[in-house]
Amino acid sequence: MEGKLSSVAKNFTPSPIQELSQLAQRCNAINLAEGFPDFPAPPCIKEAAVSAINNDFNQHVQGICDQLALKMKKTHGLDVNPLTDIAICCGQTEAFAAAIFSIINQGDEVLLFDPCYETYEGCITLAGGIPVYVALEPPQWTLDPEKLMRSFTSRTKAIVLNSPHNPTGKVFSRDELEIIAKGCRRWDCVAITDEVYEYITYDNQKHETIAKLPGMQERTIITSSLSKTFSVTGPNTKASHRWRIGWAIAPASAASAIRNIHIRITDSAPAPFQEAALTALRSPIEYFETLGGVGSGRMEYELKRDFCMKLLGSVGFRIQFKPQGSLFLFAELPKDCLLSDVEYVEELIKQAGVVVVPGRGFFHGNESCKYQKRYIRVAFCKSEATLNAAAQKFGELINAKACPKILY
């Protein structure tokens, strides 16, 4: 059968995150690689899903679209028609893929900020598009306006914007959004956003959607989901743990195209989880402002972030950027470490029984940049017990002179 595989299938291999999560399971390692919580989702959400199953709710739930439209108005001041401008999908990943398929033709260029989440490139290449990477400048992951503007061409069809950002934790500022919007308007491009971490921000940072800027709602496709805000995601190796309720919010023509693509790929998002999503989206505004779940409050996430920053700093990692949002810490390897990111992670699993993600999987473009092999990503959305266990394992790597035992 191998000889029958398409060229696309041959080019897709397991991601470093998937491979290392599987290795972590085999080694019974502590998993700080994937951004899924290991604490419970809010009880009311789970109860709503169980009730929907017991009461045979098996149809599309229009109320989700109504609630999303209300949320967009309250949060961003945007008028969204719940009947025409929203497509419910099986998670943000499918919503993003359908958004790409709905607008990208063979040879169209799509701008992405580097480093970035690996799924984006795969969707673009599947659609026949050409990814064009615009590097954010380390260590603060700043956007160079001139570099961005030089990246636009007559072939540019869209730009992908993920804020809060995976893997760095960056929240794009209003000034940066204005620069991106300026390029979109000048070159008549579509902005496709990934806003799954929209409520997970720290230190008084606030997420803003680019769609609220002048001239942008009519050229923006917003994708997001239930999973991060309500802690109903799960590991890539156990997809059944994921609730997979996401959405795209877009002008009616694009939303209709996304909906049609969704129907032909997966037909429908699970109805019981749609009912649970409706319950979640009806949560009081205070929930979204504080993320009031068990173990997942915004204040608790800040404490977890700070705990991991202190932990990694104690074993020599250089952390020059404090995450402003998302669930990740992007840390640079110790200055005198001669190992690459992949080699370090492998040794970390073997010697400490802790798994994180090597950063190179998030980088693209110029491979001559040495820093692309000098970062790891740590997910801190874990229980206190898990983080304390990881800290103990890291502590065992430190010798009497406070130097890591991992060979440099």
DSSP per-residue letters across 284-306: -HHHHHHT-STTT-HHHHHHHHH
The whole domain housing 229 covers: 43-289
Does any domain span residue 408? no
**The pair of three-digit structure tokens given for residue 132, joined into one six-digit string:** 């064009």
- pLDDT confidence of residue 226: 85
339 and 272 fall within a common domain: no
Same domain, 28 and 173: no
Q: What is the model's pLDDT at position 295? A: 52
Are residues 339 and 347 in contact, defined by beta-carbon separation less than 8 angstroms? yes
334 and 241 in a single domain? The answer is no
Residues 330, 191 share a domain: no
Residue 136 CA neighbour count, 13 Å, CB half: 25
d(CA 267, CA 260): 9
Q: Final residue of a domain: which of 230, 265, 289?
A: 289
Beta strands 375-379 and 357-358, pairing class: antiparallel
Residues 105 and 217 in one domain: yes
- Do 74 and 164 fall within a single domain? yes
Q: What pLDDT is stored for residue 53 in this prediction? A: 83
Residue after which a domain boundary falls, among 289, 304, 334: 289
Residue 256 and residue 83 in contact, taking contact as beta carbons nearer than 8 Å:
no
Query: What pLDDT is recorded for position 296?
Result: 58
For residue 288, give both structure tokens: 């979204």
In a domain, 182, yes or no: yes
115 and 19 co-located in one domain: no
Tell me which residues of the chain have a pLDDT lower than 70: 16-18, 20-21, 60-61, 231-242, 292-296, 366-368, 398-408
146: Cβ contacts below 8 Å, ≥ 6 apart = none
pLDDT of residue 357: 93
Residues 331 and 319: beta-carbon distance below 8 Å: yes
Same domain, 50 and 126: yes
Dist CA 121 CA 104 (whole Å): 13
